[in-house]
A and B are shown apart, each in its own frame.
Chain A
Amino acid sequence: MADIKQIKEIEQTLIEDFSLFDEWEEKYEYLIDLGKKLAPLSGEFKTEDYKIKGCQSSVWIHSSYREGRVYFEGDSDAIIVKGLVSLMIMVLSGQQPKDIVEAPLDFINQIGLSSHLAQTRSNGLRAMIKQMKMDAGAWGHLV
Chain B
Amino acid sequence: MTEKKPFDVEKIRQQFPILQRKVKGKDLVYFDNAATSQKPQAVIDTINSYYTQCNANIHRGLHTLADEATAKYEESRVSVQEFIGAEWHQEIIFTKGTTDGINIVASSWGRANLNTGDEIIISTLEHHSNIVPWQMIAEERGAILKVIPIDDEGVIDIEAFKKMLSEKTKMVSIIHVSNALGVINPVEEIIKLSHEKNALVLLDGAQSAVHLDIDVTQLDCDFFVFSAHKIYGPTGVGVLYGKKYLLEAMPPYQGGGEMIKEVSFEKTTYNELPFKFEAGTPNIGDVIAVKTAIDFIKEEGKEAMRNHEDNLLMYATEKLRTIEGLKIIGDVLNKVSVISFVIDGIHPQDLAILLDNQGIAVRTGHHCAQPLMKRLGIVGTTRASFAAYNTIEEIDKLMVALNKAIKMLK
Contacts and interface: CB of A to CB of B under 8 A. Distances in A.
Given A78-B347, A79-B347, A28 B353 contact: yes
Contacts, number: 39
Interface in A14-30: 24-25, 28-29
Contacts of A29: 408
Nearest to B356: A115
A24 B358 CA distance: 9
A79 B409 contact: yes
Given A24-B24, A24-B357, A80-B353, A56 B408 contact: no
B347 A77 contact: yes
**Count class of interface residues, chain A:** 10 to 19
B154 interface: no
**Count class of interface residues, chain B:** 10 to 19
B408 A25 contact: yes
B382 to A, nearest CB: 11
Interface string A27-43: 01100100000000000
Contacts of B379: 57, 77
A78 B357 contact: no
A81 interface: yes
B349 A57 contact: yes
A55 B366 CA distance: 8
A111 B380 CA distance: 29
Nearest to A81: B349
Interface in B333-349: 347-349
B350 interface: yes
A81 B408 CA distance: 14
A56 B357 contact: no
B350 A80 contact: yes
B365 to A, nearest CB: 5
Interface of A: 24-25, 28-29, 32, 55-57, 77-81, 124
Contacts of A57: 347, 349, 379
Given A24-B357, A78-B350, A80-B353, A56 B409 contact: no
Interface string B377-410: 0011000000000000000000000001000110
9 contacts: A25-B357, A56-B349, A56-B364, A57-B347, A77-B379, A79-B350, A80-B350, A80-B353, A81-B349
Interface string B203-216: 00000000000000
Given A25-B408, A56-B348, A57-B379, 15 more contacts: A24-B24, A24-B357, A25-B357, A25-B404, A28-B353, A28-B408, A55-B365, A57-B347, A57-B349, A77-B379, A78-B349, A79-B347, A80-B354, A81-B349, A81-B350
Nearest to A83: B350
A25 B24 CA distance: 12
A10 to B, nearest CB: 24
B96 to A, nearest CB: 21
A32 B380 contact: no
A25 B357 CA distance: 9
A32 B409 contact: yes
Contacts of B349: 56-57, 78, 80-81, 124
A39 B404 CA distance: 26
B404 to A, nearest CB: 8
A101 B357 CA distance: 32
In the A-B complex, the 4 residue pairs with the closest CB atoms: A78-B347, A56-B349, A78-B349, A56-B365
Contacts of B354: 28, 80
A80 B349 CA distance: 8
